[in-house]
Amino acid sequence: MLRFVLNHWRRQRFKFILTLVGALIISAGLSLMFNLTDSSQGTVEQTLQKKWSSAYDIVVRPKGSQMSTESSDLLEPNYLNGINGGISLEQYETIKQMKEVDIAAPIAVMGYANTFVMFKKAMTFPKEPGIYRYKRTTYTETGLGKEQQFEEQIHIAQGTKIQLPEKVPFSTSPVDSFRDVSAGNPVLIVAVDPKEEARLVGLDQSVSSKNNSRYFSQLDQHESPRGADDNIIPVLVNPHSFNKGTYEFTIEKLDAPYKTEQDQQKLVQELVKKQPDGDRVNSILQTYPAKLTQRLEMPSSKVEETYLKTLSEGTNLQTFVAEDAPGAQLLYKSGPLQFNETKSPYPTRWKNAFEVSTSAIHLKNWYFSESTHPSKGYRSLVSTGKKVKNPSEMEIPFKYPYLTFKVVGLYDPNKIKVSKDPLNELPMETYRPSSADLVLDAKGNPVNPAKSIDTSGNPVGLLTNSPNILTTLDSAFAVNGKQAISSIRLKINGATTVSEESEQLLQNVKTQIEQETGLLATITKGSSPQPVVTKVVDDGKTLGWIEQPWVHIGAAMTIFRETSVGFSGVIFAMLAVAIVYVLATSYVSMLARRKEFAVLLALGWRTKDLYRIVLIEAALLAGFVSVIALLVESIFSYVRNETMNGWSLLWITLFSLVIYFAGAAWSAFTIRKISPYEAIKTGEYASSSHVKLGLRSTWTLALKEIFGKWKRNALSILSIALPTALLTFFLFVTFHLQGVLYTSWLGQFVALQVGPMHYVTMGVAITIAILTTGEIMWQNVTDRRASLAILKAVGWTNRSVRQLIVLEGMLIGFVAGIVGLSISYITIYVLYDLVPWDEPLLIAVSLLLPVLFGTIASLLPAQIAARVNPYQELKDAG
């Protein structure tokens, strides 16, 4: 039986070579597909893990701390710095003890301390008698404009010659006491667990080793040597300021007579009459015109760095004296931004758009002047002051925590182990300030180039601040109470890659945390940066639109799944085309060998013997595919210097057996219908070869041939339509969906990474489709040799015959294009809920490429048809 099969292949050398070429392409295609699937899948996992990965896998927050934007799976940059407590030590310990948790690093946002620096003899008052207005104003530069943050003013009398009453609306102190300039900045203080923070982001490696600077030790803890109200806290200081504000100090001389005793007496009587309470903060003198005599500008960064430098000079002192150590009052805490969804000005650029606006700030439990805190802002402000029960006359009614700083070291946030590439970095870290770009002006016109906006240092400003002072977790509990922790960042054992297994593990840990602690857990692994545009409004007036990289929760996982679906689609298309090719080959082979098999049956062969022939042929071809796969796998292993993948070989062998035995089953089904009587028929079944279609042109002749043998031609159409449909879908994702996938920068990258692999595999599938179509058309020509001889006998030229066969191939390709385009558009509608009718180029490519494939497949059959000898064929027919 084996010899019979080999003799048949020897007699039909040309068709056997074509069959081997098809098997070779199938083998190489399957090998390439499995190897590229493994390597590309690994590349995608590694890329997602490396390029778009935060320092932690899960973040735990208090209940009620969700942002309104989380319904769109979006988190604001540095959102953790806007959460002020809510997690207890017991809840932290519960999470820390979970076996899956490797690192649990808490953050406790303690609030803003108002620090002050004195600059000696910075101002000079004129010696001329008069009333002078001394004003200190703080401005913040937001990038959208210069805004006034604080303003304090006091009126001072120079050269007084009369006895002043007790209540006058100006200061009676000598002007020399106002020559020293006092400037203060709010500094954010954050507490961490030193051990866990070192493990999570390498905070210990960012600490300078110069001038006795060191990292926290177990001995660095909160101290209260003089009672509960005494807070000595160990701190790490970042001596570099991110503040973009400005201080302005001015001296103005009021337009009011104050030179002689009579002038002074008259003015004082007038003032006491108008303002008998003598309020110096809201003095009536504010309404008097004045002339500027001196103006001094000072950057807020200089003020802050001067203060931080003062702290750093006392780093790790051998003898620490609390009375002499620098410190500050903890005055207030700021909240998160409140975002409202709005219509995106350019939806193709920014899928999501939000709006933030300023609102008035009124602090409760506030003793100081309202001018000492911002009057309005984009964030809320909460005072840390607590009411004092039964205060004495000399005691203020509110108590604010006072912190004495015991500096142990200096740290540099740029040396912390987090991504610093703005294109890849997930903006979830707490050590560096967030940034933004002004991309549209107040009228909505593009700003080109975009204007960079940085943190201003304003506690209620647009962009989140980062801390310049870090302390220990026990200090936060001592100062802020039992629920001082704002958030906990977790690293999970076993969640090392972006994969389905890691995702399931993280989901299990998230559920466990929420059930056991009642806190909110969010999976941050598998997230990506996403550009979001925000409309900035101040007092109802639009200032402009800013763009920031937000955190798109789970975007990397979504792309990972989409990539897996893409691989599945490639595998399906590859296998489907391979199966169609083998079925077509078997079908065409049976058409050509039907008379031969009928003769064998007439000679006494059993049907089982014919079954055995096609099974042996299938087994030999499957074995050939496996051998070629072994060679390809060896080449891959040698090039990569890796061990040969036995699983790939096993799968290729199994797929080969499935493909070729499916073809054998198809042939066996056809064999059952063969009889010696039917052996005298030629071509396909007679009933299907008669089509009522007028033969008025070459087109109608080609259509008659296609419809007359619709079964075999349907295989050709299907073999081209499947890869065309997948090719159209990939083109749609790569080009048209670039705008949609741009909402996750990740999507754009994966399209570039995975695209070439998809197209290489699709090229193999298309090659097989061309072979399938070519072999079927070859059989069509073989069955029509007599009719082609008649055409040539009545005057058709070789060129006309070639054109007829090529036209048939083009029509088959065109129909395949329509079928493929329909399949791809249905798929796009199901996945993306849209139909891209507005993509004429995509439609044109989807229709023209199959026509090209059909044309290529028809070239060899057309050449064979042109070589038909009319005399010989008519003689044989006779």
- Determine which of 239-253, 515-529, 767-781 has the lowest per-residue pLDDT on average: 767-781
- Give residue 366's pLDDT: 85
- Give residue 659's pLDDT: 74
For the chain, give the number of residues. 878
The pair of three-digit structure tokens given for residue 825, joined into one six-digit string: 């558009």
- Tens digits of residue pLDDT in 206-257: 998 887 889 999 999 999 877 667 789 999 988 877 777 888 999 999 999 9
Does the pLDDT value for residue 426 go beyond 70? no
- Determine which of 16-25, 508-517, 524-533 has the lowest per-residue pLDDT on average: 16-25
Does the pLDDT value for residue 382 go beyond 50? yes
- pLDDT, the chain, mean: 79
3-state DSSP call for residue 838? Answer: coil
Considering 519-528, 547-556, 702-711, 863-872, the range whose residues carry the highest mean pLDDT is 519-528
- Tens digits of residue pLDDT in 276-333: 888 888 889 999 999 999 999 988 888 878 887 877 776 665 555 555 567 888 999 9
CB 40 within 8 A of CB 62: no
3-state DSSP call for residue 183? Answer: strand
Q: Cα separation of 578 and 839, whole Å?
A: 30
pLDDT band of residue 344 (cuts 50, 70, 90) is: very high
- 390: Cα within 13 Å, side-chain hemisphere: 0
| Bond prior to 449 in cis (omega within 30° of 0) | yes
Q: What does the pLDDT average to over 555-574?
A: 59
- Tens digits of residue pLDDT in 575-612: 666 677 677 677 667 766 777 777 777 777 888 888 88
- Give residue 220's pLDDT: 92
Q: Cα separation of 369 and 281, whole Å?
A: 8
Does the pLDDT value for residue 562 go beyond 60? no
Q: Cα separation of 406 and 317, whole Å?
A: 9
Positive/negative CA dihedral, 477, 479, 485, 490: negative
The pair of three-digit structure tokens given for residue 704, joined into one six-digit string: 């008659």
The pair of three-digit structure tokens given for residue 794, joined into one six-digit string: 């009545």
User: What percentage of the chain's residues is helix, strand, coil (to nearest 5)?
Assistant: 50, 20, 30
- Determine which of 234-238, 744-748, 860-864 has the lowest per-residue pLDDT on average: 744-748
Amino acid sitting at position 449: P
- Determine which of 43-52, 54-63, 311-320 has the lowest per-residue pLDDT on average: 43-52
- Determine which of 61-70, 195-204, 694-703, 807-816 has the lowest per-residue pLDDT on average: 694-703
- Kindly give, in sequence order, each residue whose CB lies less than 8 Å from that of residue 638, ignoring residues fewer than 6 positions away: none
Does the pLDDT value for residue 425 go beyond 60? no
- Give residue 763's pLDDT: 72
Q: What does the pLDDT average to over 840-869?
A: 86
Considering 438-447, 713-722, 869-878, the range whose residues carry the highest mean pLDDT is 438-447
H/E run at residue 303 = helix 300-312
Of 74, 84, 68, 63, which is closest to residue 335 (Cα–Cα)?
84
- Give residue 569's pLDDT: 56
- Give residue 391's pLDDT: 79
- Give residue 753's pLDDT: 41
- Give residue 418's pLDDT: 67
pLDDT band of residue 662 (cuts 50, 70, 90) is: confident
CB 339 within 8 A of CB 356: yes
C-alpha angle 789-791-794 in degrees, rounded to nearest 5: 110
Instruction: Name beta bridge partners: 689.
Output: none
pLDDT band of residue 55 (cuts 50, 70, 90) is: confident
The pair of three-digit structure tokens given for residue 802, joined into one six-digit string: 């070639």
Of 465, 392, 460, which is closest to residue 435 (Cα–Cα)?
465
> Is pLDDT larger for residue 218 or for residue 633?
218
CB 768 within 8 A of CB 577: yes
